[in-house]
Amino acid sequence: MTWWRGRSPAFFFVASAVLLTGGALAALSGRDDLSRTLWVAATVLGLALSLLWTVRSVVERRATVDVIAVLALAGALWVGEEFAGAMVTLMLASGRLLEARAAARADRELRLLVERTPRTARRRTGGRVDGIPVEEVAPRDVLVVGTGEVVPVDGRLLAAGTFDESALTGEPMPVERPNGDDVRSGVVNVGPPVDVVATSSASESTYANVVRLVEQAQATSAPFVRTADRFAALFVPLTLGLAGAAWALTGSPLRAVAVLVVATPCPLLLAAPVAIMSGLSRASRIGVVVKGGAALEALAAGEVVLFDKTGTLTHGRPELASVVVAPGAPPAADVLRLAASLDQVSPHPLASALVGAARARSLDLVLPTDVHEVHGYGLEGRVGDTGVRLGKARWIVGADDPAWLRQVRRRAALDGCLTVFVAVDGAPAGAFLLEDPVRADAPRMVSALREVGIRRTVLLTGDRADIAETVGRIVGVYAVLADRDPADKLAAIRDESAAAHTIMVGDGVNDAPALAAAGVGVALAARGATASSEAADVVLTVDRVDAVADAILIARRSRRVALEAVVVGMGLSLVAMVAAAAGLLPPAAGAVLQEGIDVLAIGIALRALLPTRLHTIPMSAEDVATARRLREGHDVAIAAVEQVRAVADGLHTRDCDLAPVRALLARLEVELLPHERADEAELMPLVARALGGPATTTMRRTHAEIEQQVSRLRRLLDGIEPGSVAPEDVTELRRLLYGLYAVCRLHNSQEEEGAFALVPAGPLVTTPTRRGGRHRAPG
């Protein structure tokens, strides 16, 4: 039965086309009796199916225009217009076929996700590899992912690999992931076999969450479609009234039949669902799962957007801000290398921050041994011949309260950072300060929301007011509501919803009530399943918040296309009905004309499937590769910038040692300045091509300021005689170093937002392309 239901529109169309064409050929050959018989058979087929559809609609209590088709087909048989009846049958069949094809195309991308769900995994145990059901995978299991296999659960790579991530991100090019990088379930290994440490179970992995969302994303009736149904209830009596008036005034039942023929079937009921389903399909291609047509309609109507902070406007995962080294400990790079090596096998979220920072600095990591977790304290093990311990301060430092520890705590409190302390061979070695940075694409997303017609943007968070205000200023929201618990968030959403249609964007468990309360809930679920994704109406499976603006743009375009299709189809149908009532359009010609009107209306609706310019900036593959190469230098330069602050903090007016300052200056001249010059020569033209020339003005100005500050530092150091450092020299050195640090931090943020946020995540595997080819970043 399911097999027949999926193919019945095609069989109906073929049968009606064969009967109509056969009758036409028989008429041309002079066999009028055979032609009438074939056309009558086609009319009876259409009449039987129309009656079936009408009865079904009555049982389901849905408005329908199929009753007009029933009257038109019965009238055609009554007045002897067999050809018009056969044409009406072909109209019905072609409309059903086009609608079915549009629905199948709109649903294809979603079904493909479900079909690729991994069922098994290969777990490495010692020297043996065993195949197990994916449900048995647990965190810290080492899995082998072969060439062409789907990564079964979220994990961390133990060797570099190359992956096809298009199922999750829409990015068509393979992506290289280095050793220690996170990899999400659902991506395909297109390189050599790799080992992956599982960081989640199968049920909590990214791909399992996506599949659940897809299964929920049924194309339910949208408000626009329900409005169309109600309008159909008005259209039926209008049609019957016009047909009856034509018959009554002229005494000709032929005119009444002609009116019924051109009113069948109504493009309203075909075009609106096709446009809405096309919008759902288009959104899924950019990594946005919309749970039905009603959600798409509500998304298009949104006027106020409210954001949670953590994980929405910020990354939601810590990143290394700086390394503070204890007196007598190894250099910062060595401390980071040892800690990151140990953390490679840890599923803890903070482990990814240290491993990622070490990888960005091109540090050589080795696999640890004898690793075990001390519950409530941290992790310890051996990296080569060195014992390493990571965790809480009291476990690392003990009961002492040295000056460097107080400095770490003060900086963490001022900057809102997390801290992880490290010991090497039993001695305290320092601490890592971790922060949750603002997403580089968030400011552009907020600006894009204004462009698509959003009137008000609000940051709604439970975080401290000072931190929330800082994030709000950076991204450019209209208002900041901080220190709000879930109940306060609900009250704020109700207040906003009383004045306008609202959209709430969040990603955490505590966001679920707010997402459910808003007009539309949008959840970021790129990193796995949360209660928020279950409560939301729209789910982003890509880790880019700027996809929110693109999703709204797609929703509004789909609604506009649906309206255009309905207006054109209904307008032409009404004109044809008036012409038929006036006797200017006989039933046969009206049937042919109405077929053209229906096809035109559905064709207009299918425009919602076509690509349109989104707020995601298109970049050529060559520009993407260039930006990623420069990003590697950018990450190295960040480490040099962090050393500027550490050196400035260590300057003292008594017995000042300038050796660290001179070493820093050498590093700035060897690493930082060449990177800034490369940015000026290559990155600025790239950004100008993507965003326009004025977008690079401020970045070029800060390039010049950095060069100037480093030059001043060189002149100051050259003017200080060895062994005769005056207090005023130390004061001037501190001023220069803190000023340079501030300018560099600002410039790094400018580059992140203005340049690197345009680039898809992960290093691109470049392939030969024709010059001038375009590559669109996903999301």
Active-site residues: which are they? 308
What crossing angle do the helices spanning 267-285 and 587-605 adopt, rounded to 10°? 20
b/e map 117-137, b = 16+ CB within 10 Å: bbeebbbeeeeeeeeeebeeb
Q: Please give the Cα distance from 438 to 434 (Å, whole number).
A: 13
Q: Please give the Cα distance from 151 to 129 (Å, whole number).
A: 16
Q: Please give the Cα distance from 301 to 290 (Å, whole number).
A: 14
Q: List, in order, residues 6 or more apart from 260 with CB less than 8 Å away.
A: 68, 71, 72, 75, 239, 243
Tell me, letter by letter, the H, E, C secondary structure of 42-109. HHHHHHHHHHHHHHHHHHCCCCCCHHHHHHHHHHHHHHCCHHHHHHHHHHHHHHHHHHHHHHHHHHHH
Paired tokens of 201: 């179970």
Given its phi and psi angles, is residue 194 left (phi above 0), alpha (psi -120 to 50 degrees) or beta? beta
Check: CB of residue 224 under 8 Å from CB of residue 298. no
Check: CB of residue 179 under 8 Å from CB of residue 500. no
Paired tokens of 103: 């629905």
The values of phi and psi at residue 8, to 5°, are -60, -40
Q: Please give the Cα distance from 513 to 518 (Å, whole number).
A: 9
Q: Please give the Cα distance from 492 to 514 (Å, whole number).
A: 9
Check: CB of residue 325 under 8 Å from CB of residue 331. yes
Q: Where are the alpha helices (DSSP H) in 303-441?
A: 332-343, 349-360, 393-397, 403-415
Residue 281 amino acid letter: S
Q: Which of 172, 171, 175, 130 is nearest to 157 (CA)?
A: 175
Check: CB of residue 53 under 8 Å from CB of residue 66. yes
Check: CB of residue 232 under 8 Å from CB of residue 565. no
Q: Please give the Cα distance from 288 to 290 (Å, whole number).
A: 6
Paired tokens of 329: 């400990």
Q: What one-character DSSP code corresponds to residue 653?
A: S
Q: Please give the Cα distance from 324 to 306 (Å, whole number).
A: 37
